Amino acid sequence: MLMDKRILIIIGAVVLLLILLFAGLAIGGVFSGGAGTGEEAGNNSRDNKLALARDYLSRNEFDRALDLVDQVLLDNFNDEEARALKDEILEKKKAAQDAERADQLRRERTQALSDDSSRERYTNRTNVTIPDDASSAERERLRKIQDLLNKGDSYRESKQYDRAQDAYNEVLKLDPDSAEANARIGATWLEEDPTNKNNLDKAKEYSLKAIEEDPKLALPHKTLAEIYEQNKQYDNAEREWKEATRLDPQDWWALYKLGNVQYRLGKYADAVRSYNSCIHLKSDFYNAYFNKGLAHTKLSQRDQAIEALVSVTRLKPDFARNYYQLGLLYYEKRDFQ
């Protein structure tokens, strides 16, 4: 009987051990299987991120592609495939940015007007009228005014602006309401430093005073136009340039500047007409031909643009920008001869 109990105890212990053994194997299998599934899921996530990054790269969506690759590298910084893909994305992003900058530069070059600076400017010195019935004293006063105006103009042309203003102020002592002197003082303030606000304010003040004294004087309108143009107030500048050219129709420089303002306002047909008027008065002014070519280009008038730019090659053979613009037009026309 005692033996039977021992046998039963032994059998029970063996059964219990077997149960524990099988339970342990089952639990281990579960954990082992779970670990394998997690690793497989991680690999799938990585592969999907890299595949999606390549898809974004093919669409030039560089930032979105980089974001996905960085997520992979945060999990494993030594992932060689991810690092190689990141280098490829960065390289192509830089190439795209460089191409965009080059295209922007090309657009700027093809749209930018020729430099307004020119050593040659239109000048029209006004002579003081001396009435036939003027007294000797009046004749002497008017002759002195004329001499002072001429003296101031000479100083102004040689950029001795202080001396020019001194001469013009002497005129105002003889004739406080002299529109000519006020107009010239205004122009002198502008020419001395067109970027200085105080100079611009002074130039405007004297120019408005000159117009008040003599509305038929062109110079103060030119000065005001330059001031408005400097401040990018192109509508006002156009108005003043128009008035200046109306009062002085021979001023080819004012017509050129009017065309430039109209170009900036997008009035390309008006700009072409202004440039044509300028060229009619000064047929060797290459800047007008070049800007006329740009205006024709804006109007999709390719042949007229080419004709204008070909004239520039004759007048200014070393003007590099002209050849660049002309080459673009020939390329668009597919004329490679």
Q: How far is 110 from 203, CA to CA, in rounded Å? A: 33
pLDDT over threshold 70, residue 2: no
Q: With CA atoms as reference, report the closest residue to 219 among 196, 244, 255, 202.
A: 244
CATH fourth-level superfamily of 257-337: Tetratricopeptide repeat domain (1.25.40.10)
Name the one residue in this structure whose structure tokens are 């804006």.
298
Q: Give the right CATH number for 138-248 from 3.40.50.970, 1.25.40.10, 3.40.50.1100, 1.10.150.130.
A: 1.25.40.10
Task: Return the higher-pLDDT residue of 202 and 37.
Answer: 202
- Intrachain domains 138-248 and 257-337 with the same fold: yes
The burial class, CB within 10 Å (0-12 / 13-18 / 19+), for 288 is buried
Buried b (16+ CB within 10 A) or exposed e, 128-167: beeeeeeeeeeeebbeebbebbebbbebbeeeebebbbeb
User: Taking residues 53-69, what's their average pLDDT?
Assistant: 92
Distances (CA, A) of 215 to 117, 183, 209, 218: 28, 11, 10, 8
Question: Packing angle between helix 302-315 and helix 320-333, nearest 10 degrees?
Answer: 150
pLDDT digits (tens, 9 = 90+) for 315-335: 999 999 999 999 988 888 775
Say which range, 125-129, 133-137, 260-264, 329-333, has the weakest mean pLDDT.
Answer: 125-129
CA dist 257 and 159 (Å) reads 21
pTM (two decimals): 0.66
Average pLDDT over residues 138-159: 93
Instruction: Say yes or no to pLDDT of 90 above 80.
Output: yes
Q: Are the CB atoms for 66 and 88 separated by under 8 Å?
A: no
Amino acid in position 124: N
Yes or no: say if 325 and 107 are a contact pair by the CB < 8 Å rule.
no
| Residue whose C-alpha is closest to residue 83's, from 69, 96, 100 | 69
Contacts of 134 (CB under 8 A, 6+ apart): 142
Instruction: Convert the pLDDT of each residue in 266-310 to its tens digit.
Output: 999 999 999 999 999 999 999 999 999 999 999 999 999 999 999
Which pLDDT score is estimated for 129? 80
Residues 135 and 121: their CA atoms lie apart, in Å, by: 37
Report, as an integer, the average pLDDT of 31-58: 75
**CA geometry: angle at 336 spanning 331 and 337, to 5°?**
145
Tokens 């008035």 locate to 243
Residue 18's pLDDT is 63
pLDDT digits (tens, 9 = 90+) for 178-232: 999 999 999 999 999 999 999 999 999 999 999 999 999 999 999 999 999 999 9
- Across all residues in the chain, what is the average pLDDT? 86
Distance in angstroms (rounded) separating the CA atoms of residues 171 and 81: 83
**Residue 7: pLDDT band with limits 50, 70, 90:** low
Residue of 226, 242, 230, 180 whose CA lies nearest to 206? 180
pLDDT at 42 over 80: no
pLDDT for 22: 59
Cβ-proximal residues to 322 (8 Å cutoff; 6+ apart), any chain: 286, 290, 293, 309, 312, 313, 316
Gap between the Cα atoms of 230 and 105, Å rounded: 23
DSSP assignments along 6-26, one per residue: HHHHHHHHHHHHHHHHHHHHH
Q: Compute CA distances 187 → 116, 171, 244, 275, whole Å.
A: 17, 15, 14, 24
Percent of the residues in the chain that have a pLDDT greater than 90, as a whole number: 64
Amino acid occupying residue 283: S
Q: Residues 251, 122: contact at Cβ < 8 Å?
A: yes
How is the chain split into domains, by residue range? 17-96, 138-248, 257-337
Please tell me the distance from the alpha carbon of residue 136 to that of residue 128, in angstroms, as a whole number.
15
Q: Average the pLDDT over each of 117-126, 198-207, 258-267 and give the range with the smallest value.
A: 117-126
